[in-house]
């Protein structure tokens, strides 16, 4: 038995399943093979030879209750490790504020939700008021870590009961 990482159609990790179930999902075209086991193992029967799957992806998106990954101020602070994303200052739950990447007035005007994982970041009060109600490029401000991107924490979807296989690493965030 070989554990296989199963991703939603959106590439979010969902479960770790055993390879037999993964093969059934692939055979019934409910899932596609994304990564095969790097050791090149195959599963053989008298009639077929298929690569041992390491990561599969569901073809249809399934709605998953967002355990632990529900949007809240505190969860955004936790995702950003209690640090201002603009100046890198360490914060506390008392000094941290939520900054909207697209300002709230802008979201309202364009009828988009403001309080989402991708539109909210942790900021200190000084940076938040410096940015004001402007769009990021208008404010001339930049994320402290240039590679930073506000996103929904993915790790919360998945409780790893297996050691993470190297083939999975691209698809999961490890602490
Ligand atoms: Zn700051």
Distance from CA of residue 78 to its chain's centroid?
A: 14
Q: What is the percent of the chain where pLDDT is above 70?
A: 90
Residue 135 placed within a domain: yes
53 is written with which tokens? 């799957």
69-116 pLDDT, tens digit per residue, is 678 888 888 889 889 999 999 998 889 999 999 999 999 999 999 999
Residue 175 above 70 pLDDT? no
**Which structural domain range is residue 29 located in?**
3-65+155-168
88 with 123, same domain? yes
57 with 93, same domain? no
Q: Phi and psi at residue 31, in whole multiples of 5°?
A: -140, 160
Distance 82 CA to ligand 1 centre (A): 11
128-156 pLDDT, tens digit per residue, is 999 999 999 999 999 999 999 998 875 55
**CB burial of residue 112 (10 Å; 0-12, 13-18, 19+):** exposed
Residue 81: count of CB within 10 angstroms of its CB: 10
Higher local confidence (pLDDT), 163 or 29: 29
Residue 124: count of CB within 10 angstroms of its CB: 21
Instruction: State the Cα–Cα distance between residues 115 and 71, nearest whole angstrom.
Output: 7
Distance 144 CA to ligand 1 centre (A): 9
Alpha-helical (H) ranges within 11-155 are 19-27, 73-79, 104-109, 125-131, 136-139
What pLDDT is attached to residue 66? 56
Residue 150 placed within a domain: no
Distance 91 CA to ligand 1 centre (A): 9
104 with 60, same domain? no
What pLDDT is attached to residue 157? 44
Residue 115: CATH number of its domain: 1.10.30.50
Number of domains the chain contains: 2
77 with 130, same domain? yes
51 with 7, same domain? yes
Distance 92 CA to ligand 1 centre (A): 12
12-22 pLDDT, tens digit per residue, is 888 889 999 99
82 with 135, same domain? yes
Residue 175 placed within a domain: no
Distance 66 CA to ligand 1 centre (A): 29
Distance 60 CA to ligand 1 centre (A): 41
**Spatial contact of 69 and 78, defined as CB atoms under 8 Å apart:** no
Alpha-helical (H) ranges within the chain are 19-27, 73-79, 104-109, 125-131, 136-139
165-174 pLDDT, tens digit per residue, is 888 888 876 5
Q: Provide the mean pLDDT of the chain.
A: 88
Residue 148 placed within a domain: no
99 with 126, same domain? yes
Report every protein residue that has its C-beta within 5 angstroms of ion ligand 1: 84, 86-87, 89, 124, 127
């Amino acid at each position: 038995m070989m554990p296989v990482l199963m991703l939603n159609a959106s590439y979010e990790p969902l479960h770790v399943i055993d390879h037999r179930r993964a093969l059934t999902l692939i055979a019934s075209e409910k899932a596609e093979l994304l990564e095969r086991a790097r050791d090149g193992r195959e599963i053989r029967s008298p009639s077929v030879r298929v690569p041992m799957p390491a990561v599969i992806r569901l073809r249809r998106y399934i709605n998953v209750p967002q355990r632990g990954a529900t949007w809240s101020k505190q969860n955004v602070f936790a995702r950003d490790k209690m640090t201002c994303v603009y100046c890198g200052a360490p914060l506390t739950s008392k000094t941290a504020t939520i900054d909207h990447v697209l300002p709230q007035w802008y979201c309202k005007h364009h009828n988009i939700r403001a309080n989402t994982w991708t539109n909210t970041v942790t900021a200190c009060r000084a940076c938040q008021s410096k940015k004001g109600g402007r769009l990021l490029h208008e404010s001339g401000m930049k994320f402290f870590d240039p590679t930073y991107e506000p996103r929904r924490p993915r790790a919360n979807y998945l409780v790893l009961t297996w050691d993470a296989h190297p083939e999975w690493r691209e698809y999961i965030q490890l602490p």
